[in-house]
A = this chain, B = another copy of it.
Amino acid sequence: VTQTIERDLDQARTEPRPLPPAPEVDLPETRSYRVKNRLLGPPLHTQQLEHERLGIPTALAVFSSDCISSSAYATEEILRVLIPVVGVFAFSLVLPITSALLVVLFFLILSYRETIKEYPTAGGAYMVTRDNFGLLPAQVAGVSLLTDYILTVAVSTAAGTDALTSAIPALAGYHVLIALGFIAIIAYGNLRGVKESGKLFALPTYFFIAIMLLMLVMGATKAFGGNLHPASLDTTGQVPFAHDALGAGLFFGAGLWLVLKAFASGGAAVTGVEAISNGVTAFRKPEWVNARRTLVIMGATLGTLFFGLSALATKVHPIPYVEGTPTVISQVGKAVFGGGPIGHVLFFGLQAGTMLILVLAANTSFADFPRLASFHAGDAFMPKQLTKRGHRLVFSNGILALACTAAVLIIITDARVDHLIPLYAVGVFTSFTMSQAGMAKHHIRKKEPGWRKGLFVNATGAVLSLVVDIVIIVTKFKPPGQPLGAWVILVIVPVMVFALTRLNRQYEAESKELAADVRAAAEAPVFHRHTVLLLVDELDRSAAKGIQYARSLTPDELRAVHVAIDLEKAEELMNDWLRLGLSRFPLELVDCPDRRIVRSVLEVVCEAMVDGRTEVTVLVPRRQYRRFWHRLLHDRTSEAIAKALARVPHANVTFVPYHLGGEPESPLPVREEITL
C-alpha cells in the first residue's frame, strides 16, 4: 500500500547520526498496550519507514486503482442523466460525451507529464500550488483534494457494494451496512499499516483490466456478428430509473444543458489521474521517466475501458435503476457473457473484479488523505496531532478522521452512488486547475528549455480543468430530488479554508510568543521571590513525606497551610504540629466556613502573590492507592486543587506522592497498573 512507499520529502534529508539506545529498564507492559499490540501487530520503529522502489507494472497497479475503477460507474452516471429526458436517444449521446471526457483526460495526462518532470520529488497539487502561489492558495487546493479523497472513499465503497449486490441481489437490503463494513475493514487494515507490497495490488487491478478487456472483445465480436441486442430486462422488483419518463422529454430539453449535465456526471471518470504525480519518488530510476510512462499507460487503459463500455452500452441498452442495482456494467456483462455456465462464471468474475478494484480505490484515499493532512498540519494549517505517526508508523489520526467522515457521508446519502456524484469531481477539478495553473506559472518563472511547449500544455490543462469544474458546479448545483449538490462543496471548501487559516494564525501567534526572548527568559535571575506552600490535610505519613520534600527546597518563604473545615480538628492538628517541633516551618490555619477547600487554596496562593513578583510552588501531598476501589473511598481534592491552580500564572504545582500499601522493593514500578 502506498503509505509504506515513502513518497514525501523525508528521504531527501540527510540522515542524522543515531542516538545511543534508550535505557534498558524492564518495565512491565500495561494491558491496554498488550491489547493494542494484539490488534495492530507489533510496534514499528521510526527507522522502519520503508522505501520500496516500484517497476512500471507494479506501479501501475499501485497508483491506478482509483483512476481505472472510475470506468465501473462513469457510463452509468452519464446514462442516468440522459435516459429520463431523451429515452433511448441517450444511447446515441453516450459515445460523444464519453469522447469529450477522453479529450479532457488526454490533456490532463499531457499536463501531468509536465508536472512529473518538473516536480519529481513531490508533485501533488498542494506542493505545486504552495511552491508557485504560496501557502493560502495551497490550502484551497489541499482542502479540495481532501474533500475529494473523502468522496472517493464514499463513492468507491458505494459502487463496490453495488457490484456485490448486482451479483447477489439478496444482499441489496444491507447495502449501507456493507459499505460501512468495507470502510471499517480498509481503515483497520490501514491502522495496522498494511505491509503488503505493491504486488498484492497487481492481482485485482490486472484481473479487472483483463476481464473488462475480455468483455469488450467478446462484446465487439458479438456486435459485429449482429448477436448483441438490448438486454431483456430482468426487473426483479426494482424500479427502472424514471421509467415512466422514457422518451417523454425527447422533444424538450435535448440541448446543450442536458449534454453538459451528462458530461458533468461522467467527469467522475477522470478523477485519480493525479495519483502518480504524488509518488514519483517510489519509481525505479530514472524515476520521472518511468512515472511518465506509467501515467500514459494508465490514461490509455482508462480511456479504452471507459470508451469500450460506453460503446457496448449503445448496443445493450442497459438502464440505470433507482436503487443503483443491477448496475449498468453488470447488465452489459450479462448481455455479453450470455447465460451459460461459462457466461455465469465470467459474469461473477466481472462483478468480483469490479468490487475489488473499487475497494482498492478507496484504500488509495486512505494512503493519500492522511499524508496530505500531515502536510497541512506540518505547515501549521491543521491540528498538529495529524503529523503524529502511530503505533505502526501510519498517520492514525488522519485514517480515523477519513473513515468517520466517509461513513457519515455513506449514511447521509444512503450509500447511493448517484447521490454522491454531484459532490464528486468538483474538488478534483479545482485542484487540477490550481496545480496546472501553478505549473504554467512555474514555466514562466523558470523558463527552462522547452518551457513554451510546457506552458501551452499546462495552460490548456488549467483552462480545460476550470471549464469542466464550472460545468460541474453549474449543472450539479442542486440536483432535483437529491439530498446534496455541488453547493455543499462550494460551502465546505471556503469554510474549511477559513477555519484552517484561523487555526494557522493561532499556531503562528503561539509559536511567535513562545520563541520570543528564550535566552533572556532562561537566564533571568532565578526568581524575585519564591514561596513554597505545603498543603496539609492531616498529620500523617503522606504529610510527613510532604514536609520532608519541602525541607529539601530552599525558597525565600516556606509555609504549611491547613484549610480548616472542622475547627476542632484544625486545633488538634496545630497542637500536633507544634509538638513535632518544626520551628522553621510554620503551620497556618485558614478558615473555610463555606467548605470550598479549592477556593480557599486559590485565595491563599493569590494572596501570596499580591506583590506581583512572587513565584509560588504549591506542594500537594497525594496518596496513591493500590486498587481502583480504594481510591473511590476518598474524594479527589488534590486533583481539583491542581486543576484550579493550573489557571493561575506563576503557581507551580508539585504532587508529592505517598504510595499506600508499602513501596515495592526496588524503585522500579513493578505494579501492573502502570499506564502509558
- Residues of A whose CB lies within 8 Å of any CB of B are 13, 16-23, 25, 27, 43-47, 383-385, 388-390, 503, 506-507, 510-511, 513-519, 521-524, 526-527, 530, 538-545, 547-549, 551-555, 564-565, 567-568, 570-571, 580, 582, 589-596, 598-600, 602-604, 606-607, 609-610, 612, 614-615, 617, 622-624, 630, 632-635, 640, 642-644, 646-669, 671, 673-676
- How many angstroms between the C-alpha atoms of A632 and B521 in the bound complex? 26
13 interchain pairs, CB-CB under 8 A:
A43-B594, A46-B593, A385-B634, A510-B623, A514-B538, A521-B547, A526-B548, A602-B669, A614-B667, A624-B646, A624-B649, A647-B669, A649-B663
Q: Contact: B647 with A564, CB < 8 Å?
A: no
Knowing A27-B603, A600-B22, A647-B673, say if A389 contacts B503 (CB, 8 Å).
no
Q: Contact: A642 with B660, CB < 8 Å?
A: no
Name A603's contact: one of B22, B565, B633 (CB within 8 Å): B22
Query: Within 8 Å CB of A43, what residues of B?
Result: 594, 596
Q: Contact: A544 with B526, CB < 8 Å?
A: no
Knowing A522-B582, A548-B527, A643-B675, say if A567 contacts B19 (CB, 8 Å).
yes
Name A22's contact: one of B543, B591, B656 (CB within 8 Å): B591
Q: Contact: A667 with B654, CB < 8 Å?
A: no
Knowing A19-B570, A383-B633, A675-B647, say if A594 contacts B517 (CB, 8 Å).
no
A21: nearest chain-B partner, CB-CB: B591
- How many angstroms between the C-alpha atoms of A109 and B349 in the bound complex? 91
Q: Contact: A654 with B617, CB < 8 Å?
A: yes
Query: Within 8 Å CB of A591, what residues of B?
Result: 18-22
A32 to chain B, nearest CB (A): 12
Knowing A595-B46, A676-B644, say if A603 contacts B23 (CB, 8 Å).
yes
Query: Within 8 Å CB of A545, what residues of B?
Result: 521
Q: Contact: A610 with B651, CB < 8 Å?
A: no
- How many angstroms between the C-alpha atoms of A570 and B19 in the bound complex? 10
Knowing A541-B521, A635-B384, A635-B385, say if A674 contacts B610 (CB, 8 Å).
no
Q: Contact: A657 with B649, CB < 8 Å?
A: yes
Query: Within 8 Å CB of A633, what residues of B?
Result: 383-384, 503, 506-507
- How many angstroms between the C-alpha atoms of A383 and B634 in the bound complex? 7
Q: Contact: A25 with B606, CB < 8 Å?
A: yes
Q: Contact: B652 with A657, CB < 8 Å?
A: yes
A540 to chain B, nearest CB (A): 4
A609: nearest chain-B partner, CB-CB: B667
A386 to chain B, nearest CB (A): 11
A507: nearest chain-B partner, CB-CB: B633
Q: Contact: B610 with A667, CB < 8 Å?
A: yes
Q: Contact: A593 with B47, CB < 8 Å?
A: yes
- How many angstroms between the C-alpha atoms of A389 and B549 in the bound complex? 32
Additional A-B contact list (7), CB under 8 Å, known A649-B664, A650-B657, A652-B655:
A385-B634, A506-B630, A507-B633, A514-B660, A610-B668, A612-B665, A653-B655
Query: Within 8 Å CB of A388, what residues of B?
Result: 595, 635
Query: Within 8 Å CB of A658, what residues of B?
Result: 514
Q: Contact: A384 with B27, CB < 8 Å?
A: no
Query: Within 8 Å CB of A524, what residues of B?
Result: 548
Q: Contact: A571 with B668, CB < 8 Å?
A: no
Query: Within 8 Å CB of A514, what residues of B?
Result: 538, 540-542, 623, 658, 660
Q: Contact: B599 with A16, CB < 8 Å?
A: no
Name A668's contact: one of B47, B511, B606 (CB within 8 Å): B606
Q: Contact: B548 with A521, CB < 8 Å?
A: yes
- How many angstroms between the C-alpha atoms of A17 and B521 in the bound complex? 47
Q: Contact: A518 with B530, CB < 8 Å?
A: no
Residue picked from A515, A582, A669, most chain B C-beta under 10 Å: A669
Query: Within 8 Å CB of A668, what residues of B?
Result: 606, 609-610
Name A656's contact: one of B544, B622, B632, B652 (CB within 8 Å): B652
Query: Within 8 Å CB of A646, what residues of B?
Result: 622, 624, 655, 657
Query: Within 8 Å CB of A20, what residues of B?
Result: 591
Q: Contact: B635 with A27, CB < 8 Å?
A: no
A273 to chain B, nearest CB (A): 33
- How many angstroms between the C-alpha atoms of A661 and B524 in the bound complex? 20
Q: Contact: B521 with A607, CB < 8 Å?
A: no
Q: Contact: A580 with B522, CB < 8 Å?
A: yes
A597: nearest chain-B partner, CB-CB: B676
Residue picked from A13, A530, A646, A664, most chain B C-beta under 10 Å: A646
Query: Within 8 Å CB of A13, what residues of B?
Result: 568
The 5 closest A-B pairs by CB, nearest first: A609-B667, A521-B544, A514-B540, A45-B593, A19-B591
A277 to chain B, nearest CB (A): 26
A518 to chain B, nearest CB (A): 5
Q: Contact: B19 with A510, CB < 8 Å?
A: no
Name A676's contact: one of B547, B567, B599, B674 (CB within 8 Å): B599
- How many angstroms between the C-alpha atoms of A632 and B507 in the bound complex? 12
Query: Within 8 Å CB of A656, what residues of B?
Result: 652
A532 to chain B, nearest CB (A): 10
Residue picked from A43, A540, A582, most chain B C-beta under 10 Å: A540
Query: Within 8 Å CB of A647, what residues of B?
Result: 624, 669, 671, 673-675
Query: Within 8 Å CB of A604, what residues of B?
Result: 23
- How many angstroms between the C-alpha atoms of A589 and B16 in the bound complex? 13
- How many angstroms between the C-alpha atoms of A227 and B536 in the bound complex? 77
- How many angstroms between the C-alpha atoms of A658 and B595 in the bound complex? 30
Q: Contact: A527 with B539, CB < 8 Å?
A: no
Q: Contact: B506 with A518, CB < 8 Å?
A: no
Query: Within 8 Å CB of A523, what residues of B?
Result: 580
A380 to chain B, nearest CB (A): 9
A558 to chain B, nearest CB (A): 13
Name A667's contact: one of B538, B606, B675 (CB within 8 Å): B606
Q: Contact: A25 with B603, CB < 8 Å?
A: yes
A43 to chain B, nearest CB (A): 5
A600: nearest chain-B partner, CB-CB: B22
Q: Contact: A510 with B46, CB < 8 Å?
A: no
Query: Within 8 Å CB of A598, what residues of B?
Result: 675-676
- How many angstroms between the C-alpha atoms of A651 and B653 in the bound complex? 14
